[in-house]
Amino acid sequence: MENKKHFRLAVIPGDGIGEEVISEGLRVVEHLSKTSNKFTFESDYFPWGCEYYLENGKMMDEDGLEKIKNHDAIYFGAVGYPTVPDHISLWGLRLSICQGFDQWANIRPVEFLPGVEGKLNHPNKEDLNWILVRENTEGEYSGVGGRNFTGRGPGKEVAVQSSVFTEEGCERIIRHAFELALKRKRKKVTSVTKSNAQQFGMVLWDDVFKRVSKEYPEVETDQWLVDAMAARFVLHPEELEVVVASNLHADILSDLGSALAGSLGIAPSANLHLDGRFPSMFESVHGSAPDIAGQGIANPIGTIGSAALMLEHLGLTEEAHLINEAIRSTTRGGILTADIGGTNTTKEVTDSIISHISSLYAKV
């Protein structure tokens, strides 16, 4: 086929169930590659993670970013293991990639899949569908600060952790939220801060939001404090469409949204670099779940949904749509892993998704 696209993926399975769900996601991408005949891909595997840390004293190669910077995308499993402190595993790998490649937009869709019992008492759950847009490189996760005064003796150490909000950082993520809203049936952006208590950085965010919103008169807007927004997720989720928030606040709210929809195991995400210099990274929202690793029961939907976000980012919009439709058909048919009330294995869920992709593609 003429003009067939070819992509190089940097695959980082990571820890725990990461390798299991990444393998299933790649099975889906491979099937789509053969079925659509529109693209090919190759995968370069990188064995970074906690096991690598225990052997080498670091989470990734010293020149790790250099090794993956020319790939078309990064497909990431999960990171974390009980024998490695979480702040070491997170900063040593995932955050190192996000900040090193300026992946400043984290996109986390929240969808109430058919056949999945959500944790929300709402009459029209399957109509609920919103997007968390998370500032992904600064804010509360800037990594600015330190610990000192250990020489004063036990109990007298001091830790300083500073949030950093730049006007540039606020504007680009807020503007991206508005651009996403323009593509949706309901054009609305909700900004979330805690500017009553954080009177500098988050007031700057509020000011930028007000300024940028004037450029999008066709988009409805509102602004909420994060504690009130957490309640709104539960009490009035029908009011949500595109929600934009800082690094910490969107991280917490997206987990809340996914839990309300049934499980973190169904939640995909994309860490986007949109300036063309570096690759973007795609990963499920859930963690490494070492307690169920190797049992074949991990939910692959979040990672497969992340593959859909990856293909969409690479310009394969139709293929991304087919994955999402196949996920819905699978859950609607009751093919579910234990975390969402089913008895199916990781492989069985993926097999069902692949089967539905074949059926859907035959109708295209």
Q: Are the C-beta atoms of residues 353 and 327 closer than 8 Å to each other?
A: yes
3-state secondary structure 5-40: EEEEEEEEEECCCHHHHHHHHHHHHHHHHHHHCCEE
In degrees rounded to 5, what are phi and psi of residue 314?
-85, 5
Mean model confidence pLDDT for the chain: 95
Global model pTM greater than 0.85: yes
Helices (H), 165-289: 167-182, 201-213, 226-235, 247-261
Give the pLDDT means over successive 10-residue stretches in the chain (364 positions): 85 97 98 93 97 97 97 97 94 95 98 93 88 97 93 94 96 98 97 96 98 98 97 95 97 96 96 95 96 96 98 96 97 97 98 95 71
Strands laid side by side in the 242-245 sheet: 39-45, 5-14, 73-78, 280-284, 268-272, 105-111, 129-135, 242-245, 188-193, 220-225
Quick: pLDDT tens for 306-343: 999 999 999 999 999 999 999 999 999 999 999 999 99
pLDDT tens sequence across 71-125 = 999 999 999 999 999 999 999 999 999 999 999 999 999 999 999 998 988 888 8
